Structure formats: structure tokens, C-alpha cells
Amino acid sequence: MPLRVMTYNIWDGGDDRLERIRGVIEGVRPDVLALEEAGEQLRMEQLAGQLGMTLAYGASNSQWHLAWLSRLPITAKASYTFLALAKSLEQIEVSWEGMPMQLFAAHLGSGRSDKGEEERAGEVRAILQVMAEQRGKAPGAVQALAGDFNTLAPQAIEPPHDGLSLEGRTRAKLIYGVPRLAIPLVLEANLFDCYQVQHPDEQGYTFKSWEPVARLDYIFASEPLAKRLHACERVTGGETAKASDHLPVWAEFS
């Protein structure tokens, strides 16, 4: 059966927007869902219950937590909070089509500066080390890495400023003025950018949802999984611009 993976930064724990957020998620019906800026555990448990999913919640190095929600049985989970990470790295394992799958959720630091990007590159190196170690423990497992990376892919192009608000132009200038060090490391590790694979000529901006100027949200797949990539899309329209400041992204494997 197809497997649909979704990543969604729900902005400050969802605050009073959880009903809208739930509606956006229900419109996609993901099998596994990575949440960034997840709120208090009890509220996330309630959200998972309403969606008919199981919650794997992880504490963070900061107030911004991460969580996985899954319709598939979670066979293992782990949380990594070492100092190199601005928040944490959350891992779950599920079985899909009889194949072990390791899923990792990340939320990198948001500094819009050269130093901030160097720190994100350090985070990526730490994440890739964990993924390599976990892959070694489960030969034959496929892997996916999803989340808000707060940085641009190498091919990202700044949108035309015509039609953008002053706030949008300022935001774009900040984001595009930073070197691109982190995502190339992910790609060099033979992880495939699902959106780019499916839409090589599109930018797919995800932030901010009401005036998107940059793609900061990604789903990466290891090569065996990427070969089964069927679709990858942003979620736009409806309540998305009111539900969070990020547009969610989903990828489907068949």
C-alpha cells in the first residue's frame, strides 16, 4: 500500500489554531506525520487521538518540541538532545510492506546569519552521524528525514520583489543573504530532496504561509526509498495560511 509522510511546523505549539491544524492534516491523511514546534504533550496526545494516530513525543533542548504521529504501529523510538542540536532529533521505526523504515524529524536553528548557517551545518553533521549509526543497526532499513531546516537548498531562487509586502521583501533579503551549507551536506549523504525530485523546475516556497518567499521545509529519502517516490506536494489554500506560518509538505511512496 502507498505510504504518505508529512512534515508540518505548527508554530508555537499550535496555540488556539489546533482545530485549523487538524483540518489541514485531515485533508492530507498522512500515515506518518512529523510535527515541529509541537506543543505540550497532553495537547499533542489529544490531537493524535482526534486524528486516530499514535504519538511519539520528544523533549527538546529548547521550548520547541518535536513529535511523530503514526497510523502504523511504532516498533521503536528514540530522542536525541545532544548539544549540537538547537532542538532535538526524533526517531521512530515502523514496518511498511514488510520493510523496516527509520523516520527522523528535525528542526534546525533559525539564525539568519553566516554563523547561524554554520551551526545548522553542524547540526546536519550530527544528524547524519546518528542516521548512519542507526542504519548500521538495521541492515535493509530505508530512511527518511523530515522537518523545518530553516535554510535554503542550493538551487533556491529568491522570488521577484514585485508584489511582495515590505515585510516579505525584508524577510526574503534576510533568508537569501545567508550561505547555503546545510542542505548540500544532506544531499552529499545520498539523501534525496523529494520535492526537488518531483518538481525540478519549481521553488515550492513554504514560509511564511500567507506570503511564501522561501522553501524551508523538506522531506529527504534514502535512495531505496526515493526510488519508490510517487508524489511530493505542498499543502496550500483553505485554512493553511491561518493554521500556521509554515505550509506543510507531504511525500507519498508506492
The per-residue pLDDT for 232 is 98
Is a pLDDT exceeding 90 seen at residue 61? Answer: no
Is 170's pLDDT higher than 90?
A: yes
Runs of H (alpha helix) within the chain:
18-28, 41-51, 114-137, 166-176, 182-188, 194-198, 223-226, 240-243
pLDDT at position 38 over 90: yes
Domains of the chain in start order, with CATH, are 3-253 (3.60.10.10)
Q: Would you tell me the crossing angle of helices 41-51 and 18-28 to the nearest 10 degrees? A: 40
pLDDT exceeds 90 at position 209: yes
Q: Render pLDDT for 82-108 as a digit per residue (tens, 0 to 9).
A: 889 999 999 999 999 999 999 999 999
The contacts of residue 170 (CB under 8 Å, 6+ apart) are none
Mean pLDDT of 176-182: 98
Confidence at 53, pLDDT banded by 50, 70, 90: very high
CA atoms within 13 A on the CB side of 45: 4
The pLDDT value recorded for residue 81 is 93
Give the pLDDT confidence score for residue 216 in this predicted structure.
Answer: 98
Confidence band for 64, pLDDT divided at 50, 70 and 90: confident
Q: Which amino acid is it at 176?
A: Y
